[in-house]
A and B are shown apart, each in its own frame.
Chain A
Amino acid sequence: MKETIGVKNLGWFVLAMLGTLLSIVAAPAFAHAISDGDKAPNFELASLAGQNVSLSQFRGKIVYLDFWASWCGPCRHTLPWMEELQRKFAGKGLVVVAVNLDKNKSDAQKAISGIHPSYQVLLDPNGTVPAKYMPPKMPTSFLIGRDGTVVSVHAGFKDGEAEEIESEIARMLSGK
């Protein structure tokens, strides 16, 4: 006897297809993006200088964690400003950590060569840290408080945002 596709089986088929489509569309939504009030996930990466640096070693300090790449124009725009930030607030308890997401170390070196950063430039060619933080844009920065909690998230970098972030950092450093 020839097998036919019954209504019941067709129903299961449609259900499976819908489930698959839903999983495709909704998968990124289920990945938890780190936002205000969340504990900043710890990580350990090699720096451009070749040392291993972990986020937990800056516990007790305010951390400005930035995700950037050489292929991202606005990211490159923030690099000299982050150096200003580091110089301005480092003595008061701020650490700037810039996580580079280029596949090749040479691209990062080229992008940063004219700046000679005194801040931490860490290399993450496999994107393991952004997979934990889920930055919605490039660049995205996470301002992390002394207790390791994310205080604010800045997605993208627009004109005038630098002043806003600086005043936020100054407020945090003064303990207000």
Chain B
Amino acid sequence: MKFISCACLSIALLLSACSPVQPWQKGNLAKSHMSFEPAALEARQRQHIYFSKEGTNGGYGVGGGGCGCN
């Protein structure tokens, strides 16, 4: 029982370190290499080629998502 109590206490203490990132602490998250597509122009070009090949459009970002509204 002592072991379980210690384990619970440790988990509780470790979990208490999980706190949400505050708006002013997002400097690192805002860096370009943290985004899924760091080179916006290149990504756009790649998407354009893909759409031309597949005869499809949308599926990326806001330009016609899966909402079926366009």
Contacts from A to B (Cβ < 8 Å) = 3, 5, 9, 13, 16-17, 19-21, 23-24, 27-28, 67, 69, 71-72, 101-103, 127, 130, 134-138, 140
Q: Which of B11-19, B45-53, B55-63 contacts A (4 or more CB under 8 A)?
A: B11-19
Give 1 or 0 for each of B1-13: 1 = CB within 8 Å of chain A CB.
1001000110110
A109 smallest CB distance to B (angstroms): 15
Judge if B69 is at the interface, Cβ distance under 8 Å.
no
A28 contacts B19, C-beta separation under 8 Å: yes
Which chain B residues lie closer than 8 Å to A17 at the CB level?
8, 11-12
Quick one: closest A residue to B25, CB to CB?
Answer: A127
Tell me the complex Cα distance, A47–B8, Å. Answer: 46
Tell me the complex Cα distance, A57–B15, Å. Answer: 41
* Chain B residues numbered 1-45 whose CB sits less than 8 Å from any CB in chain A: 1, 4, 8-9, 11-12, 15-16, 18-20, 22-27, 30-31
Other than the given A5-B1, A69-B27, 16 more pairs (CB < 8 A) read A9-B4, A13-B4, A17-B8, A17-B11, A17-B12, A20-B16, A23-B16, A24-B15, A28-B20, A28-B22, A72-B30, A102-B27, A127-B22, A127-B25, A130-B24, A137-B23
Tell me the complex Cα distance, A117–B23, Å. Answer: 24
B26 smallest CB distance to A (angstroms): 7
Quick one: closest B residue to A156, CB to CB?
Answer: B23
B25 smallest CB distance to A (angstroms): 7
Which chain A residues lie closer than 8 Å to B23 at the CB level?
130, 135-138, 140
